[in-house]
Amino acid sequence: MADKNIFKKKSHHRRAMRVRARIKGTAERPRLVVHKSLYHIYAQLVNDLDNRTITGVSSLPGSVNAKGKKLEKAKAVGNAIAAKATEMGIKKVIFDRSGYLYHGNVKALADAARKAGLEF
């Protein structure tokens, strides 16, 4: 059982690195990174040229305080990251799904961020 979990983690990491090798975030157009855990979802804006995280939000209590199912939490995080980005003067981002499939929570976060004003 442990070998299967190690293989899944390595495969996920390989997919994430493959995506990250192709896209680079800048100060004008940062990379919108998504990370999922079992209960929460996280989003960050990253400037790869300066190796710096610009801002980030999560569904953890104290950040967005999203309640309900994971899909509602993902939508709340997408709205919050778009609000923070527009407040900082960022309109365009590059979406980095971090090796996750573009469906479910990842898609809900992206759609909510687009509706709130971010351009991908």
Tens digits of residue pLDDT in 37-85: 999 999 999 999 999 999 999 999 989 988 899 999 999 999 999 999 9
Is 85 domain-assigned? yes
Is 7 domain-assigned? yes
Q: Which domain holds residue 76?
A: 2-115
Tally of structural domains, the chain: 1
Half-sphere exposure of 95 (CA within 13 A, CB side): 18
Instruction: Please return the burial class of 28, using the count of CB atoms within 10 Å of its CB with bins 0-12, 13-18 and 19+.
Output: exposed
Is 84 domain-assigned? yes
Is 120 domain-assigned? no
Please report, for the domain that includes residue 39, its CATH number. Answer: 3.30.420.100
Distance in angstroms (rounded) separating the CA atoms of residues 86 and 62: 21
pTM of structure = 0.90
